[in-house]
Structure 1
Amino acid sequence: MAVPKPKQGRERRRWWARPLRWWHALAFASGVLCAPFGFAGNQQEEALADSVRLALSNAIMDARPPKPVFLNPVDRSQYDTWYGAMSDRLKRKLPDEFTRREFLETAWYEARRAGLDPGLVLGLIQVESAYRKYAVSIVGARGYMQVMPFWTNVIGDRDRSKLFNMQTNLRYGCSILRMYIDMEQGNLYLALGRYNGSRGKPEYPNAVLAAWNKWKL
């Protein structure tokens, strides 16, 4: 009896696709999203000057709680206006009020601490993870700001699981983006490309800048 030859082309590709579909189903069932986004982060490990590495490490290890502090009533009023608007826009993504408040307080604090516009950070998170705390990209980037695990070795305590902690993830992401902006001498377009591991390509910076416009007052 002749042994049938394996089917070629389409059927063969389907066979290879099955494990991937099964893995994605398991990931969703376990509450961990393997991010299918076209802009999933792929930050590249780079040689950093000792001074830059030390500054980043000190920024990450700062133990102060992420609570907004205001020097005058005007600053407080501006924050309240910003918080009210952002909270309304995030209700669909983060329906729990306590979670939404904690997230926005932390995002505002970490963005301002790194010298970034909070709206830029919210736009970047929208593109990177669509506000999914446990998002994991196909290259292993984690959390809201899709931070690559190697950063925990470079400037952290080597505990990669902490990248799923909200404050830790936002602190890493904001500090790294600030570093890239400084490296690019203030050129946000190139810095965003570097953050995504796609420096010089327009798709990712354009996507973040467009999302940023949606998070401006």
Structure 2
Amino acid sequence: MKVAVLDIKGKDTGRKVDLSDSVFAIEPNNHAIYLDVKQYLAHQRQGTHKSKERAEIAGSTRKIKKQKGTGTARAGSIKSPIFRGGGRIFGPRPKDYTQKLNKNVKRLARKSAFSLKSKEKSIFVLEDFTFETPKTKDFINVLKSLGLENKKSLFVLGDSNNSVYLSSRNLKQSEVIINSELSTYKILNANSIVLTEGALEEIESNLNK
């Protein structure tokens, strides 16, 4: 599949690139996408939730009333979960939510996500670019030129570019990442994907292993 290479003003440069059919035109595997997105979301959880149990509560250990003759249930400690301020029964404990996923499944998921976006004609190829200084206004002009001003967009760069990243950081609808930060979730979460020529080469190289 051939796609025109655009410049930052949204104009055709006269050059075209081939999008590899093995990455951008496969039959999407929905289950692979589900597994990869599930892993990504699980990894966003810190797992630091914790409540104090009976043994961790600060308080006296003396018996708070005599065993018999009060007419009420026996009680041996103010730290008991049945009292206000006592420990919590079966409360949350720190947990590791990370999940393992086969590399081949992850590649298949990303290929499937790219193929879905390709069918929707939501993939743009942009020539490599940079800004002299970080300016949000310059990045907004790029979005306007591509018709992406009011859409969720994901820009994938071949190499880290601090000027471009800082120029986009204040815009909620747009995100700039490098190839190594790419994930199935981010691909699907964006309405449009903008790949620079350098990023496209790396993506096809990595996903065709």
TM range (shorter): under 0.3
| Larger radius of gyration between Structure 1 and Structure 2 | 2
When normalised by structure 2's length, the TM-score is: 0.23
Higher helix share: 1
